[in-house]
Amino acid sequence: MKKYFITGIDTDIGKTFVSIGLCQSFKEKNINVGYFKPLQSGAYLENGILKAPDIEELKKYLSIPHGFSYLLKGEVSPYLASKINSIKIDTEKIKKDIEEFSSPLDVAIIEGAGGLYCPFCENKTFADFISEINIPAIIVATPDLGRLNHILMTLECAKFKKINVKGLIINKMPKNPTVSEKYFLEELKDFTDAEILCTIPKNCTGEELISVFSKINL
């Protein structure tokens, strides 16, 4: 079985969007895929039930196995949310949850929060956790001005933490790009040999999205 950890260069970069797209692509190939969110902050109450926003988004499009370890109220980092909610995050529990969730699947898509150095729990960032569980990471980025800096720093952080980076997914590629966006991929390739798994057009149609994800080799 395969596992992939979806991370990004920042928050609100499209990690959930990409995770759903990857799950959809695997499902269409009749591959038994599931989605797992170790730590979900920003959880909300609905009819007395605590809901995970990213899982609720997934359920709008797909009916596949899904799970989580901790649901935390507060639109903040998981670590801060755990402090606000007086919940101690147990990394060993999360590792066990991931293994148990993944075992019956062919592919497990595991989504993080924020970027690699987003606080995970006491004394650990997501980079520390991904390094510990040794799951290949897929980094989601956008081509906006200044993002090249974010991507290269994220790749350096991954290298420092000995994280296996499977590749990059460039999200929200505009159809009418600025000069920097037009040459973004060319410039990026001049500074890293990290594989660009795909580019996703901004405001793409469902058919375009399916086509893009179907060509990713994972």
Half-sphere exposure of 40 (CA within 13 A, CB side): 22
Give the span between the Cα atoms of 39 and 16, in whole angstroms.
13
> Cβ of 36: how many Cβ atoms within 10 Å?
23
| Residue whose tokens read 């970069």 | 13
- Catalytic residue numbers, as ranges: 37
Amino acid at 148: L
Token pair recorded at residue 200: 């996703």
What do you get for the CA distance between the two ends of the chain, in Å? 12
